[in-house]
Amino acid sequence: MITILAGTNRPNSRARRIANYYSTVLTELGAAHQILDLAELPADFTSTALYAQVGTNAEFNRLAAMLDLGNKLVIIASEYNGSFPGVLKAFIDGLPYPGGIWGKKAALVGISNGGQGGLLAMTHLSDILMYLGTAVLPQRVRLPFIGQDLNPEDSLNHDLSRQLLREQATALLAF
């Protein structure tokens, strides 16, 4: 089972829309998968699910448990202020340690409105994931100018973007 993690809590985010697209790619490749959308996190999870409250927030626990269903992840990381969203870091911080994402394999997809396609976000995220014992697939996909590439049907306008995501998904299955 592969978990596709939409790495922001923004409702109807582009990260979620790319997660939907990635889901269609994995379906075409015959891979079992699920989508974990951080928009489903409880608004107060940083005060009700972390630190002394670990394990007490049922909704946070439900989302965290989704990670236990498989050994591979696809993380769609929007670029926020030169990194990835703080809510993604807070979610990771709330996972059991060691555990949560320890020993899993991850593919990263960076998205941004700018020309770097989330490169800085994926670099920061890679460092954290490797520290936590998660193997990161070298084929990181950058989707720059996502506002122009992503269309209303949650598909991508550019052949290269579609090709890179399919190649990455295929590599993740073999990883």
Residue 53 pLDDT level (bands cut at 50, 70, 90)? confident
Q: How many residues are present in the chain?
A: 175
Q: For the chain, how many structural domains are there in total?
A: 1
Residue 97 pLDDT level (bands cut at 50, 70, 90)? confident
Look up tokens 């670990």; give the residue.
54
The angle, 0 to 180 degrees and rounded to 10, between the axes of the packed helices 14-28 and 159-174 is 60
Give me the CATH number covering residue 59: 3.40.50.360
- The per-residue pLDDT for 112 is 97
Range of the domain at 53: 2-174
Can you give the pTM of this predicted structure? 0.96
Is 98 a residue whose pLDDT tops 90?
no
